[in-house]
Structures are given as C-alpha cells and as structure tokens.
Amino acid sequence: MSLAREPVTAYVALGANLGDAAAALRQAIDELDQLPGTRVTARSSLYRTAPVDANGPDYINAVAELSTRLTAPDLLTALQALEQAAGRQRPYHHAPRTLDLDLLLYGDARIDSPRLTVPHPRMHQRAFVLVPLHKIAPALVGPDALAAVAGQGIQRLD
C-alpha cells in the first residue's frame, strides 16, 4: 500500500443486514482505525433502514470520517479486504451482506475509473448515506439533499 504525503479526509459508508449487523459495523469502525496511516476521526450513530432496490432484512448503516494517508485506490483495496474478512459474498447484485463499505468522498478528489468512482455516484439518492453523513459533516449535506431523501424511512438506533 502506498501512503499519500499529507492526510486526506475521507468518508466511508458502512452497512450490513446479515448476522449481528450492529456488531459488524462497530468492529469495522475499529478496524478502519487500524488501517495503515489511517484514523477514524468521527463516526455517526447507527441507523436502521429498509433495503433499497433489494430484498432481505433491514440494514444497519453508519458513516465514518477518516484521516488517511492511504491513496484512494489503496483505501478501496483495504475496504474490500475488510468486507472479505467479514464474510462478504457477492452472489448477485444487491445481495444481503455481512458488511458493505463504500468510499463516499476522498478529500476533494474526483475519480472516475473502472474500479472506483468518487464522489460515490449514488450517495445523494440515499437517506442511509446522507443522514449519517450530515450528522458528522453537516457542511457536506445541504438541506435540499436531505429533503430529496426525506421520504425514505430511517431510524436512529444509538
């Protein structure tokens, strides 16, 4: 893994709907804090939401703010390794999951590659991303964005 020279603020969405999803998210936040050159600087509360464009149990979601020296591609690789370690399988699109980690923002970078798109292309369509992101970084989510997802059910758990 390569480390960027200066720390970058990145935001990661966390979700799970299999097993003890809340425990999986708490453990993932601890593991994010242990990535090379990375510290969790803020975390949202946990939220319960119904699956979007999918079936299965409700999801538990959160957002974490990181200060990281990892490059965006290396951070993505680390996130995918944490998903795999948590037993993530991808049998079909939108399958239920033990852990889902999405890189939402990486500083002010705009990345559009076959492997990674930042900002996350669907983040502004999802209350389970915008509501917790707003709680830890209100300047990043305006009132219009929150209003656009107001009809999506979301319940704060802690």
Residue 90 among the catalytic residues: no
Residue 88 among the catalytic residues: yes
Q: Which of 37, 12, 14 is nearest to 27 (CA)?
A: 14
Number of H helices, E strands in the chain: 4, 8
Residue 102 among the catalytic residues: yes
Q: What's the DSSP call for residue 90?
A: -
Catalytic residue among 58, 102, 112, 115: 102
Residue 110 among the catalytic residues: no
Catalytic residue among 43, 69, 74, 100: 100
Across 30-43, b (16+ Cβ under 10 Å) vs e yields: ebbeebebbebeeb
Catalytic residue among 97, 122, 156, 158: 97
Catalytic residue among 43, 48, 69, 88: 88
| Separation between Cα atoms, residue 89 and residue 84, nearest integer Å | 7
Query: Where in the sequence numbering do the catalytic residues fall?
Result: 88, 97, 100, 102
